[in-house]
Structure 1
């Protein structure tokens, strides 16, 4: 005996299609199966319909991705407390967190600037906060583009709230606000400025606490006697502000006949203004004038504003086997001082290929 036919009317009613439903389904597929599985046909199958039915709501796959990106940005929390910088930081971190939850979607954000409701809302919020920070409209517009790209790039790495990402955003904001660098040019330090140099060193050490290097942050600056020796030998330079007060300094030693950057520090309030680079440029110019060929330093290899920063400037790591006796002595002293609790190494740069500016 044949079973009685089942009426199609007895099947559960399907949820009516809509753009929101298509977008949410696309996000679910992206999160569970990855971007390779995100096709119009696959989304249609998930919704128990034909692919052609989706084109009423999304024009094509790129339109679907744009809708997914906008849907995620709608979840970004708009902060209401704190000054403009604190609110902008919270806004950027919220956007990084929202995008970072969906593998592959951050790459979409990095590759396009969607003119959608919530994307434009995020941009407007960033622009308003920068204007609150004192930027003129043209500079704020330029800065928004940089910050949006920072959000997209950090989302790819899923680093919301990470100390490195937070430092990068702070440096970016400082650079935007401080560009071009106030004061200057570099000049010789004076004996009556030694206390100011020590204070700069204390302030420059504070960010190390944010990456768990409290001992470095709390380490005392070079003594007055040590700094005075550099000043007297005219191998200590400062970057002054508009009132001729030092906001950064560099002291240059000589190790095995080569110039060696013993210390270069900048007040964190001026981070991102390339003052450190300008001081190093000055030290390079001095070294060239003496007929020297290479400049060296020692640094933490995994701290963003140390090793990676010097690599971008043109320094390269010196293999331990190639360290000169003087550099080995410096490294031994650093090890005895406990600095090798974090990875540390020697770096050098050829003066002939140095690019100033």
Structure 2
């Protein structure tokens, strides 16, 4: 009969625990189950260790989720094609799509506002593109923050809900149908402007509306002086 001690010794040696390994495992859980499921206890179980071991590297679940967001932000590709405005729009779109691709990531980023090194580099890229477009430095500084907020909020709105979320996805077919029915069924005596322009209110794909919103924000940032 093989002893339990002997069995453990025959197992492959685990790699030493590290912050990088913890973040990598958390990303895997987030992709498969959603970020909300990636608690300290769940990650520790996946790493075959105790939760207390993780606290040496991250203070809590919120810090862990912020680290995941920052790590993934570092995967955004470089882009040198097109005008500064086109590159800026593509960068913001890529960031939104990244957040959407991991359930719960956008909502976490919206609440936590992670500021790790990769997130700081993203902010610097956005600021640099605005400055390249000759946007006044003070407007560019405030505008970069506004654009990141918009991209994050847009991703949160389009993200799939968690499995146990009480609220449905806002762009699930049944939700879209309900919105369309409400707009098209508007009473012209009560809400005349909505009734008159229902087709325009519902026009455009999500991609078209997102692109327009980004360009409208950039134009507004360029044209609007900050208060003195």
Do structure 1's residue 51 and structure 2's residue 51 form an aligned pair? yes
Residue 138 of structure 1, CA deviation? 1.3
Correspondence list, 1:176-255, <5 A: 176-179=221-224
Question: In structure 2, what is the Cα distance between the partners aligned to 1:69 and 1:34?
Answer: 13
In structure 2, the residue matched to 1:138 is: 138
Tell me if structure 1 keeps the 8 A contact 2:62–2:112.
no
In structure 2, the residue matched to 1:162 is: 207
Structure 1 consecutive aligned stretches of length 4 or more whose deviation exceeds 6 Å:
none
The 1:94–1:36 alpha-carbon spacing in structure 2 relative to 1, beyond 3 Å, is closer
Question: In structure 1, what is the Cα distance between the partners aligned to 2:37 and 2:112?
Answer: 21
**What secondary structure, in the 3-state scheme, does the structure 1 residue paired with 2:130 have?**
helix
Question: In structure 2, what is the Cα distance between the partners aligned to 1:37 and 1:112?
Answer: 17
Gaps of 5+ in 2: 160-170, 172-205
Do structure 1's residue 82 and structure 2's residue 82 form an aligned pair? yes
In structure 2, the residue matched to 1:283 is: none
Correspondence list, 1:303-322, <5 A: none
Do structure 1's residue 171 and structure 2's residue 202 form an aligned pair? no
Correspondence list, 1:68-107, <5 A: 68-107=68-107
**What secondary structure, in the 3-state scheme, does the structure 2 residue paired with 1:131 have?**
helix
Question: In structure 1, what is the Cα distance between the partners aligned to 2:114 and 2:35?
Answer: 19
Question: In structure 1, what is the Cα distance between the partners aligned to 2:93 and 2:54?
Answer: 33
The structure showing larger relative contact order (alpha-carbon pairs under 8 Å, at least 6 residues apart) is 2
**What secondary structure, in the 3-state scheme, does the structure 2 residue paired with 1:162 have?**
helix
Tell me if structure 1 keeps the 8 A contact 2:40–2:61.
yes
Tell me if structure 2 keeps the 8 A contact 1:75–1:98.
no
Question: In structure 2, what is the Cα distance between the partners aligned to 1:173 and 1:143?
Answer: 8
> TM-score when scaled to structure 1?
0.47
Question: In structure 2, what is the Cα distance between the partners aligned to 1:7 and 1:43?
Answer: 24
Query: How many equivalent pairs are there?
Result: 177
Correspondence list, 1:296-307, <5 A: none
Question: In structure 2, what is the Cα distance between the partners aligned to 1:24 and 1:167?
Answer: 35
In structure 1, the residue matched to 2:66 is: 66
Correspondence list, 1:325-336, <5 A: none
Gaps of 5+ in 1: 181-357
In structure 2, the residue matched to 1:11 is: 11
Residue 25 of structure 1, CA deviation? 1.3
Q: Residue by residue, what CA displacement relative to the aligned partner does 1:277-330 show, whole Å, maximum 9, x if unpaired? A: xxxxxxxxxxxxxxxxxxxxxxxxxxxxxxxxxxxxxxxxxxxxxxxxxxxxxx
Question: In structure 2, what is the Cα distance between the partners aligned to 1:62 and 1:112?
Answer: 8
Question: In structure 1, what is the Cα distance between the partners aligned to 2:122 and 2:2?
Answer: 58
Q: Residue by residue, what CA displacement relative to the aligned partner does 1:203-257 show, whole Å, maximum 9, x if unpaired? A: xxxxxxxxxxxxxxxxxxxxxxxxxxxxxxxxxxxxxxxxxxxxxxxxxxxxxxx
Residue 7 of structure 1, CA deviation? 4.1
Q: Residue by residue, what CA displacement relative to the aligned partner does 1:53-106 show, whole Å, maximum 9, x if unpaired? A: 111111111110111010110111121111110111111111111111111111
Answer with 1 or 2: which has the greater Rg. 1
**What secondary structure, in the 3-state scheme, does the structure 2 residue paired with 1:153 have?**
helix
User: Larger strand proportion, structure 1 or 2?
Assistant: 1
Tell me if structure 2 keeps the 8 A contact 1:69–1:105.
yes
> TM-score when scaled to structure 2?
0.73
Residue 36 of structure 1, CA deviation? 3.7
Tell me if structure 2 keeps the 8 A contact 1:96–1:155.
yes
